[in-house]
Chain A
Amino acid sequence: MSARSAALAAITLTALAGCVQTELRGTGDLGVIIERAAGRVQIVDTTRETKLGAVEGLGDLSHASVVFSRDGRYAYVFGRDGGLTKVDLLRMRIDVRVVQSGNSIGGAISQDGRLIAAANYTPGGVRVFDAETLELLADIPAAYGDGSQRAKVVGLEDSAGNQFAFSLFEAGQIWVADLSEPRVPKLTKFKDVGRQPYDALVTPDGRYYLAGLFGEDGVAMLDLWHPERGVKRVLAGYGRGEQPLPVYKMPHLEGWAMAGSLAFLPAVGRHEVLVVDTATWREAGRIKVAGQPVFVMARPDGRQVWVNFAFPENEKVQVIDVETQTIVKTLVPGKAVLHMEFTPRGEAVWISARDDSRVLVYDTATLELRSLLLVDNPSGIFFTSRAFRMGL
């Protein structure tokens, strides 16, 4: 088909779809914002800093996360109630929806974009779906102990070779599933990695899988290039034996706050951001912050790290200057700040303030507010630039 006839076909399809969208457009500056109480997502345009429309009927989104198809057209929304919904960002409607478990935490898309994996709490395990149709391809129960118990799965991340790595909360295990044959997953299991892994991330090159531990101070690290070397403990004992502070919301390790060779991670039960040298995997510093950090996210150029906090410090956001490892600004965007997302090249950051029903857009150079959008109880904010990054 020529470019011209393809364009005509696209216009015709759009017209048939009821003129939701009347112009051709790309999706590189689109994103979705979760309206957690309403079971709805808002589709937003990060260039014009506006809402374009809403898609309803996504179930319980009280904990929701999103991955994008590699063409940037579809958002896969993982809901708390096990719903997995493929949303068409251009037509602003549901393309396919399945309820794949009783209780889910999130998911990932494979390197080749053909597989969607969902991490489930109930029943504990991972399910893998065809990205186009959401047909179930593989079911991986997170059985441990004598095999009758099933663990909650957390920290599901994609890696090279259509692999997914994930952690078993109660079991203290990390599993790697090779889905090069999607219907026949090959599992490698690592036991005794540490107590209560609660979330994980993968480095942007897909090489290192790091699971944060809740039950002890430390991070379990697996080199996916060399799984035969096993899981190693890094940052062990970072609390130095002090009694941990209460954690009113679990930190998230999504994303990789990395600047040069330094990585920035939330401490658990300490009001600190930990700085790690990724050449040696040793602690390279720690920065005192306003509360229990939840998200610790680097601006895409790595010059700043933005941090939000658990209840009761959840009105604040602190900005760390990476070169000096100091806090340069404490912002108070609003009540119950839940998430932050940088625009693809980081000139702006979008911040959700749940209890104010607002999303605030800050200029990351001036640290000034530049736009405000009204969104009903917003939580996660996800931009299509994630489609091109491993681990997001």
Chain B
Amino acid sequence: MSALLFAASLAAAQTVGAARQKELVRLVRQDCGSCHGMTLNGGLGPPLTPQALKQKPAEGLKATILGGRPGTPMPPWGAFMTEAEADWIVNELLKGFPNER
């Protein structure tokens, strides 16, 4: 992993507290998981594994999370999280998303 990405993930972690991180992990695993699978290996929605996402720019992933993708079932989640929280989710997805507990 590049030093830049590491620095970015550190910055995101600093703005998202541990309790909120725990909530976001549950949100991604359970609620995103209802389409992308709890293991994030895909369902009606595509897989969200590091392997599946590695070619995709982080900014685009963040925009998809916050704004959804019109014409597909992907809804916008911007009402439920801040930009910093979306950054944190993208960074964690690219590293391999944490499990609950």
Q: Please report A residues at the B interface, Cβ cutoff 8 Å.
A: 36-37, 60, 62-63, 80-81, 103, 105, 121-122, 152, 154, 169, 196, 198, 214-215, 246-250, 311-312, 336, 354-355
Q: Could you pull out 16 A-B pairs where Cβ atoms are within 8 angstroms?
A: A36-B38, A62-B33, A62-B39, A63-B34, A80-B43, A81-B41, A103-B42, A121-B43, A196-B73, A198-B44, A214-B73, A248-B75, A249-B35, A250-B34, A250-B73, A336-B30
- Nearest residue (CB) in B for A152 is B44
Q: Are B43 and A103 in contact (CB under 8 A)?
A: yes
Q: Known interface pairs A36-B38, A62-B37, A247-B75. Does A121 touch B44 (Cβ–Cβ under 8 Å)?
A: yes
Q: Are B80 and A312 in contact (CB under 8 A)?
A: yes
**A293 vs B43: C-alpha distance in the bound complex, in angstroms?**
20
Q: Are A60 and B73 in contact (CB under 8 A)?
A: no
* Contact digits for B32-56, partner A, Cβ 8 Å, 1 yes 0 no: 0111011101111000000000000
Q: Known interface pairs A121-B43, A198-B44. Does A249 touch B31 (Cβ–Cβ under 8 Å)?
A: yes
**A60 vs B99: C-alpha distance in the bound complex, in angstroms?**
14
Q: Please report B residues at the A interface, Cβ cutoff 8 Å.
A: 26, 30-31, 33-35, 37-39, 41-44, 68, 71, 73, 75-76, 80, 100
Q: Known interface pairs A103-B37, A152-B44. Does A247 touch B80 (Cβ–Cβ under 8 Å)?
A: no
- Nearest residue (CB) in B for A36 is B38
Determine the main DSSP class of B at the interface with A: loop
Q: Known interface pairs A37-B100, A121-B42, A122-B42. Does A246 touch B34 (Cβ–Cβ under 8 Å)?
A: no
Nearest 10 pairs between A and B by C-beta? Answer: A62-B38, A246-B75, A249-B34, A311-B31, A248-B75, A60-B39, A62-B33, A80-B37, A247-B75, A62-B37
**A81 vs B40: C-alpha distance in the bound complex, in angstroms?**
11
Residues on A with C-beta less than 8 A from B100 are 37
Residues on B with C-beta less than 8 A from A63 are 34, 37, 43
**A105 vs B37: C-alpha distance in the bound complex, in angstroms?**
10
Residues on A with C-beta less than 8 A from B41 are 81, 103
**Shortest Cβ distance from residue A38 to the other chain B in the assembled complex, whole angstroms:** 11
**Shortest Cβ distance from residue A119 to the other chain B in the assembled complex, whole angstroms:** 12
Residues on A with C-beta less than 8 A from B26 are 355
- With A62-B33, A249-B35 already in contact, 9 other A-B pairs whose C-beta atoms are closer than 8 Å: A60-B37, A60-B38, A62-B39, A105-B44, A154-B44, A215-B71, A247-B75, A249-B34, A311-B31
**Shortest Cβ distance from residue B24 to the other chain A in the assembled complex, whole angstroms:** 14
**Shortest Cβ distance from residue B77 to the other chain A in the assembled complex, whole angstroms:** 8
**A122 vs B35: C-alpha distance in the bound complex, in angstroms?**
14
**A249 vs B44: C-alpha distance in the bound complex, in angstroms?**
11
**A103 vs B52: C-alpha distance in the bound complex, in angstroms?**
15
- Nearest residue (CB) in A for B26 is A355
**A182 vs B14: C-alpha distance in the bound complex, in angstroms?**
59
**A154 vs B26: C-alpha distance in the bound complex, in angstroms?**
26
Partner of A250 from the list B35, B71, B76 (CB cut-off 8 Å) is B35
**Shortest Cβ distance from residue A60 to the other chain B in the assembled complex, whole angstroms:** 6
Q: Are A246 and B38 in contact (CB under 8 A)?
A: no
**Shortest Cβ distance from residue A58 to the other chain B in the assembled complex, whole angstroms:** 13
**A103 vs B68: C-alpha distance in the bound complex, in angstroms?**
24
